Amino acid sequence: MTWLTSLTIAIGLVCHPVVAQALTPASASISPAHQQRDAFVTDLLKKMTLEEKVGQLRLISVGTDNPKEAIREMIRKGQVGAIFNTVTRPDIRAMQDQVMQLSRLKIPLFFAYDVVHGHRTIFPIALGLASSWDMAAIAKSARVSAYEATEDGLNMTWAPMVDITRDPRWGRVSEGFGEDTWLTSKIAGVVVKAFQGDNVTGRHSLMTSVKHYALYGAVEGGRDYNTVDMSPQRMFQDYMPPYKAAIDAGSSGVMVALNSINGTPATSNRWLLKDILRDQWHFQGITITDHGAIKELIKHGVASDPRDASRLAVKSGIGMSMSDEYFVRYLPELVKSGAVSMQEIDDACRQVLNVKYDMGLFDDPYRHLGPAGSDPADTNAESRLHRLEARDVARKSLVLLKNRLQTLPLKKQGTIAVVGPLADSQRDTMGSWSAAGVVKQTITVYQGIKNAVGDKATLLYAKGANVSNHKGIIDFLNLYEDAVQVDTRSPQVMIDEAVQVAKKADVVVAVVGEAAGMAHEASSRSNIVLPQSQRDLIAALKATGKPLVLVLMNGRPLALVREDQQADALLETWFSGTEGGNAIADVLFGDYNPSGKLPMSFPRSVGQIPIYYNHLPSGRPYTPENPGKYTSHYYDEANGPLYPFGYGLSYTTFSVSDVRLSSQTMKRNGTVDASVTVKNTGSRAGETVVQLYLHDVVASISRPVKALQSFEKVMLQPGESRTVTFTIDKDALTFYNARMQQVVEPGQFDVMIGLDSQRVKRGSFTLL
Ligand code: BGC
């Protein structure tokens, strides 16, 4: 049936024109707490000069551009509202002291930082966290991070990053939770609640700033900072829900994306910042630009000069500017000339004051600092780390991609050769946003294996190769810091040494992949195979005939067709953080049975990108059994991924029964239960993720061939069976139609349940 039929159920309009409303609604619907806050802020605004209001809109990073002395002066004049990149209690306290002692109105600063996958203790990168499909583990990582960050005096984090990512060329896929909307939205809510706690004023609550609003993950060609152009259906169906989920979970901050959307930069996008965020989603918190984004409006070609850029940003709904002086420099004059109204300045300033109020800073500016004498003697003390938590979460994030003839788990005996440029690299094990993590506190794979085997086995080590032999790439990675240590021996000498070591061993564990800086901001790649230096090393190791275990360390899906053929076992470990090496050893030796599942498809080659499991059907689908020339396929490459979304092996095996449905039909407001029985058919206890996918067979617009709608992670003892039941209701069947109405349409829905997105059992029901 189509949307033209009278049975179509329109749930609500989304893209209707709306009139932007002020941040403080005059309605009686606001809570008493918010009324109190609004009264306080209104009163404060009355006392502030224009310059002081504008000063609140400025967020600066302490560093070479802004040395501490310059900041002291800004604080005295009320020209700064918040600070980022200052991460110790003494430093933060010194600045808050200056506010209290030097400034006229003593409006506290707030302090923010990129607490993305850990603070002092580093957890796996976000893509790794998503691979755990374990909400308790993900929440634990955010709780610990919030605890550590607030112990250091911080008030806000630039996280979570919930951009949907379907292009592994983009280095920032490492910071997100993958390609799926449902999974990312679920994690977004969990992470926000875990960071912020029950009450954002709490001693260990860290306010979140969900980013990058919006659609940053869809930059063309996977090239960072590039443009985004997208249909409204895809935007609202696939890309926007995670931001909304974070806001619904209470995120008080939103970081605005650097990219443009359909021609309008997010930073000057009134529709995005006011109509959607404020009027439709009722967001009451703060919008903060990304780094230097107001300046960039000129380069985007939508502002003629700095003054124009400032005008455009504030009028579009930006509350705070990160790392530029434009607001402070131009807004006072723009108000005096009438180009910007005092109401617009008040609205922006209110955003900043509201979050400071919500952080409890007006009650106690030292809320996350405590008395001066209580500062830790050593900020980086071992006792301040949460190693147990980090190890537990890290091992849950590992994904077993291949395990031929049960190569893994390894035995703690004989001789084990550990090789590869990443085998003993502390820096790379921590990953891309390991902001306050300490390199030398990180456990590498080599160290983890050593810890695991003790004196039960002989360990041999050789680096075998540099991360890359390409000077340009190494120079790029070492541009701002000495991130990658280059062994100056010739590639052949290094390979020869590794081969000698391999020949003496019973098994070779090669740790290969990307340096952390290869999967980061501004780290886009046009090819996603392993660097040639490492491919040469793997080929030489393979030629020894020894069992070859590849431990992959990388921040994006890689094209691994060749490695999949060469390796006996492949373990995807992402960048696993402070305890990464111990966690990886836990899995390599079977002390922990892996259960991670991929949150992004792994392509066979870069030419398949974008590749994602929940694509729309084609009018000329390709079927391998009956290929046909005029069908949608590549003649030089298979269509499907090497490893699909949701995929990951275990040391045990599982069976999934046929799908059982509680009914063949579903009423509009009813539900249908879909069940399978999952059995552990192997000889070890293990966990797996049972995944529910749905497909709307005939709808008014094409719907994805399948889309994740729920999952359950189950632990089963050998021989144990468990029935897993999913309740499907109309929310799972809702989509945006051609007129951007949210609808559910009657007709047939396919139900697919499996342990990855490809191998599924099917059933179907009809929505009446
Ligand atoms: C990034 C943000 C980050 C900010 C502050 C920007 O360049 O895009 O994700 O939070 O810098 O470090």
Out of 5-14, 250-259, 427-436, 535-544, pick the least confident: 5-14
- Digit-coded pLDDT (tens) for 265-279: 999 999 999 999 999
Cβ distance 645 to 601 under 8 Å? yes
Order the strands of the 741-744 sheet from edge to edge: 9-13, 741-744, 735-736
Helix (H, G, I), strand (E, B) or coil at 269: coil
Q: How far is the CA of 267 from the centre of ligand 1 (A)?
A: 14
Q: Which residues line ligand 1 (CB under 6 A)?
A: 114, 158, 211, 290-291, 521
CATH class of 51-359: alpha beta
Q: How far is the CA of 695 from the centre of ligand 1 (A)?
A: 37
Q: Half-sphere exposure of 166 toward its Cβ, with a 13 Å CA cutoff?
A: 18
Best residue among 85, 111, 114 to mutate for probing ligand 1's pocket (most ligand atoms within 8 Å of CB) is 114
Task: Assess whether pLDDT exceeds 60 at residue 21.
Answer: no
Q: How far is the CA of 507 from the centre of ligand 1 (A)?
A: 42
Out of 40-44, 320-324, 383-387, 423-427, pick the least confident: 320-324
User: Of 238, 290, 428, 586, which residue is the catalytic one?
Assistant: 290
- Digit-coded pLDDT (tens) for 681-691: 999 999 999 99
Task: Assess whether pLDDT exceeds 90 at residue 289.
Answer: yes
Q: Tell me the C-alpha distance between 714 and 132, whole Å.
A: 12
Q: Which residue's entry shows tokens 């509680």?
A: 662
Q: How far is the CA of 274 from the centre of ligand 1 (A)?
A: 22
- For the CA atoms of 237, 243, 248, 250, what is the dihedral angle to 10 degrees? 180
What does the pLDDT average to over 22-30?
Answer: 53
Q: Tell me the C-alpha distance between 86 and 59, whole Å.
A: 12
- Digit-coded pLDDT (tens) for 719-744: 999 999 999 999 999 999 999 999 99
Closest atom of ligand 1 relative to the 212 alpha carbon: 9
Which pair of structure tokens corresponds to residue 150? Answer: 């607030």
Instruction: Spell out the residues 6+ positions from residue 561 whose beta carbon is closer than 8 angstroms to its own.
Output: 604, 605, 642
Q: Would you place residue 63 in the very low, low, confident or very high pLDDT band (cuts 50, 70, 90)? A: confident
- Digit-coded pLDDT (tens) for 560-600: 999 999 999 999 999 999 999 999 999 999 999 999 999 99
Q: From atom 4 of ligand 1, which residue's Cα is the shortest distance away?
A: 291
Q: From atom 12 of ligand 1, which residue's Cα is the shortest distance away?
A: 114
What does the pLDDT average to over 69-76?
Answer: 92
Q: Would you place residue 29 in the very low, low, confident or very high pLDDT band (cuts 50, 70, 90)? A: low
What does the pLDDT average to over 492-509?
Answer: 98
Best residue among 291, 295, 524 to mutate for probing ligand 1's pocket (most ligand atoms within 8 Å of CB) is 291
Q: How far is the CA of 734 from the centre of ligand 1 (A)?
A: 34
Task: Assess whether pLDDT exceeds 70 at residue 763.
Answer: yes
Closest atom of ligand 1 relative to the 175 alpha carbon: 9
For Cα atoms 314, 15, 619, give the angle at the middle one, nearest 5 degrees.
Answer: 125
Q: How far is the CA of 700 from the centre of ligand 1 (A)?
A: 40
Q: Would you place residue 10 in the very low, low, confident or very high pLDDT band (cuts 50, 70, 90)? A: very low
Closest atom of ligand 1 relative to the 258 alpha carbon: 8
Task: Assess whether pLDDT exceeds 90 at residue 27.
Answer: no
CATH superfamily of domain region 399-595: Glycoside hydrolase family 3 C-terminal domain (3.40.50.1700)
Mean pLDDT of the chain: 95
Task: Assess whether pLDDT exceeds 60 at residue 9.
Answer: no
Closest atom of ligand 1 relative to the 159 alpha carbon: 10
Which pair of structure tokens corresponds to residue 656? Answer: 């999934």
Q: From atom 10 of ligand 1, which residue's Cα is the shortest distance away?
A: 158
Q: From atom 7 of ligand 1, which residue's Cα is the shortest distance away?
A: 291
Task: Assess whether pLDDT exceeds 50 at residue 360.
Answer: yes
Best residue among 59, 85, 290 to mutate for probing ligand 1's pocket (most ligand atoms within 8 Å of CB) is 290
pLDDT value of residue 31: 86
Cβ distance 558 to 513 under 8 Å? yes
Q: Where are the domains of the chain?
A: 51-359, 399-595, 654-767
**269 or 14, which is more confident?**
269
Which pair of structure tokens corresponds to residue 511? Answer: 């740790």
Return the closest-CA partner of residue 237 out of 752, 733, 676: 733
Q: For this structure, is 482 an active site residue?
A: no
- Digit-coded pLDDT (tens) for 522-534: 999 999 999 999 9
What does the pLDDT average to over 405-418?
Answer: 98
Q: How far is the CA of 256 from the centre of ligand 1 (A)?
A: 10
Q: From atom 2 of ligand 1, which residue's Cα is the shortest distance away?
A: 290
Closest atom of ligand 1 relative to the 158 alpha carbon: 10
Return the closest-CA partner of residue 305 out of 326, 332, 288, 336: 326
Task: Assess whether pLDDT exceeds 60 at residue 503.
Answer: yes
Q: How far is the CA of 28 from the centre of ligand 1 (A)?
A: 37
Fold of 654-767: Immunoglobulin-like (2.60.40)
- Digit-coded pLDDT (tens) for 634-657: 999 999 999 999 999 999 999 999
pLDDT value of residue 66: 83
Closest atom of ligand 1 relative to the 161 alpha carbon: 9
Q: Give the helix/strand (H/E) hosting 677.
A: strand 672-680
